[in-house]
Amino acid sequence: MTTIKQHLDNASDILAHHSLSPRLDAEVLLAFVLGKNRSYLRTWDDKQLELKSLELFAELVEKRREGVPIAYLTGQREFWSRDFKVSPAVLIPRPETELLIELCLDSLSSSQKYAVLDLGTGSGAIAITLAAERPLVEMTALDKSFDALEIAKDNAVRHNCQHIEFVLSDWLSALSTDVTFDFILSNPPYIAQDDVHLSQGDVRFEPMSALVAEDNGLGDIKRIANDAKKHLRPGGQLWFEHGYNQAQETQEILKALNYKNIKTYFDLSDQPRVTMGFI
């Protein structure tokens, strides 16, 4: 009979040419199938698997071999130490986006009330993390994808953030002009339509509407920067995550619209990743 260790070895071999982390992928998938953590697999590596678990594991390994992201197979991804439900309707939250969280937490005092809008909330990772870390924040989370908002609402319940207001809208178009915020944040689609990376790795399985923007990737940043002006309170701040090569253009977009004190911040890989300005 085959043991956990042997199943993991086989799966790692199958994934060897299809993943950058075949052993880790195999362990994450088997741990998910068994409802255990990865250390269980090491402790019990001579244990045998039930047929039902074996079949599900084989199915998931095959999907992974075809390229399906691990997060879509397990239905979750960790972000800022919380597990977020994900599905192919939402972008898989990225570690780079934690920079935006870190910077916003520095700007949002925990003893003050703010109105904050997360544009293009997807799984809700940004809105829910900030709402959970700063309970006084009045958070609005907006997306044009109904399916994404359903996932974000589930995540809000999961993380006890039912006070977040969810809005279905094409950027700010559904908000009346008297609805204003202290902070507007967005990790919008910013990849150019012809970017070669779109045909590689996990992004092949993510929604194009979450990834791609017109105008060489800058179309949504331009539109949001323009429309956000009507919805920012005096002294309000607009924050963008953008591509590693879009800092200068994002700064120029904000300057042309008279945003002030514009700054760009670098991520852990030393790439310019977040740009902000004050109204």
Ligand X SMILES: C[S@@+](CC[C@H](N)C(=O)[O-])C[C@H]1O[C@@H](n2cnc3c(N)ncnc32)[C@H](O)[C@@H]1O
Q: Work out how close the CB of 229 gets to ligand X at its nearest, in angstroms, rounded to a whole number.
A: 17
| CA atoms of 188 and 184, how far apart (whole Å) | 12
Tokens of 275: 């740009």
Among 138, 113, 143, 108, CA closest to 125: 143
DSSP, collapsed to helix, strand or coil, labels residue 139 as strand
Identity of the amino acid at 12: S
Q: Which is nearer to ligand X, 12 or 155 (CB)?
A: 155
Q: Which is nearer to ligand X, 189 or 236 (CB)?
A: 189
Angle, CA of 267, 273 and 279, to the nearest 5°:
125
Specify whether the CB–CB gap between 222 and 275 falls below 8 A: no
Which one of residues 98, 143, 249, 267 is an interface residue with ligand X (CB under 6 A)? 143
Q: Work out how close the CB of 242 gets to ligand X at its nearest, in angstroms, rounded to a whole number.
A: 10
Judged by CB under 6 A, the chain residues 119 through 138 that form the site for ligand X are: 120-123, 125-126
Among 80, 179, 172, CA closest to 123: 80
Our finding on whether 217 is near ligand X (CB under 6 A) is no
Q: Which is nearer to ligand X, 43 or 245 (CB)?
A: 245
Binding mask 193-212 for ligand X (x = CB under 6 A): ----------------xx--
| CA atoms of 12 and 116, how far apart (whole Å) | 44
Which one of residues 76, 140, 145, 251 is an interface residue with ligand X (CB under 6 A)? 145
| CA atoms of 94 and 53, how far apart (whole Å) | 29
Q: What is the DSSP letter of 201?
A: G
Our finding on whether 97 is near ligand X (CB under 6 A) is yes
Which one of residues 22, 188, 217, 236 is an interface residue with ligand X (CB under 6 A)? 188
| CA atoms of 128 and 164, how far apart (whole Å) | 8
Q: Which is nearer to ligand X, 3 or 87 (CB)?
A: 87
Q: Which is nearer to ligand X, 57 or 181 (CB)?
A: 181
Which one of residues 189, 217, 272, 277 is an interface residue with ligand X (CB under 6 A)? 189
| CA atoms of 209 and 252, how far apart (whole Å) | 25
Q: Work out how close the CB of 193 gets to ligand X at its nearest, in angstroms, rounded to a whole number.
A: 14
Q: Which stretch binds ligand X (CB under 6 A): 55-63, 129-137, 155-163, 181-189?
A: 181-189
Cα of first residue to Cα of last residue in the chain, in angstroms, is 67
Among 211, 173, 170, 171, CA closest to 194: 211
Which one of residues 32, 72, 166, 171 is an interface residue with ligand X (CB under 6 A)? 171
The residues pairing with 260 across neighbouring beta strands, listed in sequence order, are: 278
Q: Work out how close the CB of 239 gets to ligand X at its nearest, in angstroms, rounded to a whole number.
A: 12
Q: Which stretch binds ligand X (CB under 6 A): 31-39, 89-97, 101-109, 158-166?
A: 89-97
Q: Which is nearer to ligand X, 125 or 137 (CB)?
A: 125
Specify whether the CB–CB gap between 182 and 236 falls below 8 A: yes
Our finding on whether 69 is near ligand X (CB under 6 A) is no
List interacting residues with ligand X (CB under 6 A).
Answer: 90-91, 93, 97, 120-123, 125-126, 143-145, 148, 170-171, 187-189, 209-210
